[in-house]
Amino acid sequence: MSATEEAIEHSAARLRAAGPPPRVALLLGSGWAGIAARVQQAVDIDYAELPAFPLLGVAGHAGQVRLGTLGGTPVMVLAGRKHAYEDGACDAMKGAIRTLAASGVQVLVQTNASGCLVPGRRPGELMLVSDHLNVVQRSPLLHEAGASREGQDSRFIDMSAAYDPALRALALRVATERGITLHEGIYAWVLGPQFETPAEIAWLRGIGAHAVGMSTVPETILARHAGLRVLALSMHTNMGAGLSDETLSHAHTLASAQAAGARGVDLLEALFAAFAHTLPALP
């Protein structure tokens, strides 16, 4: 067993020791932290106690796992992710994602903050990710060694339905029932940490992106490779450069996300309440 496999097994064992493993994990991006307060019967474990998990260095990401129930559904909430822009590595969440799978998780719900590329929308609106553009053209599976399943190289995973269609349909139904506007669109992953230029935003719009951000895509690739179903929700915290006269900064992103967070938190809680009744029957 490699050191990485040992770290994953130790981390999974630590999580299982805290209680029955949930089927759903929730990975929180900027602006979505308020949902953690709605988790009932909460048990917290710091990332530092889980050797397969990364240490975080970005404001707004706590670095903690919270186990409990949300809307009646057992959940494992990951408060924060490590981004590729921190040290250039796009596989920083590999150990964490594989720990989820080893712990019995079957569904990963991701959240993020994004820049909106659709004129007419406003910061604070929500978008369901239907697909993504890996603009960086980097993969967290690049340095896999000896990864094979039934004689096949498992790195060549099918990404044609990366964001689970049945889960997306459920999220849209829940949003409609709650009277919450939920757009659907394509998320473009850029490396960052600098924000995009107006020319880059125009190019991204031209190739079909509806939102842009610096996360989510590596985790989706890792999750699909681990056999997890993925759902992703994005909160627009600003308009892309050139689409408004606002000055972009990380502090601005966090402030906008905090101001709009209640709507996203309400949608997540309603979605997890629906999971309690619907998830076992989903195809």
Among residues 30, 112, 114, 234, which one is catalytic? Answer: 30
Termini Cα distance of the chain: 34
Contact 8, 222 (CB under 8 A): no
Tell me the per-residue pLDDT of 137-196, one tens digit each, with 9 for 90 and over: 999 998 776 555 555 678 889 999 999 999 999 999 999 999 999 999 999 999 999 999
In angstroms, what CA-CA distances link 238 with 126, 133, 138, 230, 242? 12, 19, 25, 25, 11
Report pLDDT digits (tens) over 195-246: 999 999 999 999 999 999 999 999 999 999 999 999 999 999 989 888 877 6
Q: Is 85 a catalytic residue?
A: yes
SS3 79: strand
For position 103, what pLDDT does the model report? Answer: 95
Residue of 86, 144, 184, 200 marked active site:
86
**Residue of 214, 232, 239, 260 marked active site:** 214
- Alpha-carbon gap, residue 224 to 175, rounded angstroms: 25
Contact 96, 10 (CB under 8 A): no
Q: Is 11 a catalytic residue?
A: no
pLDDT averaged over every residue in the chain:
90
Query: In the annotation, is 113 catalytic?
Result: yes
- Is 134 marked active-site? no
Fold for domain 3-281?
A: Rossmann fold (3.40.50)
Name the DSSP letter for residue 56. Answer: P
**What pLDDT digit, counting tens, does each position of 21-44 carry?**
899 999 999 889 899 999 999 999
Per-residue model confidence (pLDDT) at position 141:
94
